Amino acid sequence: MSNVSASKQIVRLVGKAIGDFALVEENDRILVALSGGKDSWSLLYALLALQKKAPINYQLGAVTIAPDLHADHLMKMKERLRADDVPHHFVVADINSIISASLTKGTNPCSFCSRIRRGVLYSFALRHGWNKIALGHHLDDFVETLLLNLFFNGSIKGMSPKLKADDGKNTVIRPLVYVREENTLEMTNEMLLPVTHCGCIFEPKVASKRNWVKKLLADLEKDVPNIKSSILSSMGRVHERHLWNSLRKISHFN
């Protein structure tokens, strides 16, 4: 990452994403989904840094969805956010029990968990007047999601830096779109942020297609160093006339 510190580089890239996609506007109330992982920590502190010098006014807050408010790692999170005077909320949700009781055979627990968390997050944001929700998906997530859908779901579908959520009410933004995953690790180490890991009880049961895609990209990068940036750029350069969507009738191959 050259001689520039990880935090400064990420702040610059987040600022670029905000400008390119109009992610932050005057009087926005932005709620950061803070899981405690390296990506959401980096996102929160990048937005806080930009807020101090932004030419517009916007409010920032963070929310953590957790099954237990007294876990050691959550106490460390509370202490750091209190020390830095960051508005923060905890929402209790016994997600593991819900998944165990409702998960059907063949359903990916990670996808199911994600849907439950989104529902809790969207409801909280609406109740408390936050008009935008910031998620910590980075460049690698964008690229990997596109390839996962292409390889395993037979669709050309990725993530958007800014979109109206499925509920039609919340607006979701992803300001880390230009930031590589390894850079968020560097930033959290640099700032001594109390990073926690998922610790999901279902993790060992999940077939890791995403890890397979990560390894594939790592192998491809040896021959094509800029492949991730190129794939990311392709998401904004879609020539629909040369895809099947341009045809009135579409055939599907099995």
Distances (CA, A) of 164 to 160, 167, 198, 223, 228: 10, 8, 27, 37, 26
The rounded distance, in Å, linking the Cα atoms of 241 and 253 is 20
Distances (CA, A) of 49 to 3, 29, 65, 181: 19, 16, 24, 19
Nearest residue to 190 via CA among 62, 32, 50, 4: 4
User: pLDDT by residue for the chain (254 residues), tens digit each?
Assistant: 456 899 999 999 999 999 999 999 999 999 999 999 999 999 999 999 999 999 999 999 999 988 766 677 788 899 999 999 999 999 887 666 666 666 666 666 666 677 788 888 999 999 999 999 999 999 999 999 999 999 998 999 999 999 998 778 899 999 999 999 999 999 999 999 999 876 555 555 455 788 999 999 999 999 999 999 999 999 999 998 888 877 755 555 55
Assess contact for 138 and 99: CB atoms under 8 A: no
Name the pTM for this structure: 0.89
Do strands 88-92 and 132-134 pair parallel, antiparallel, or not at all (unpaired)?
A: unpaired
The domains found in the chain, sorted by start residue, are 6-246 (3.40.50.620)
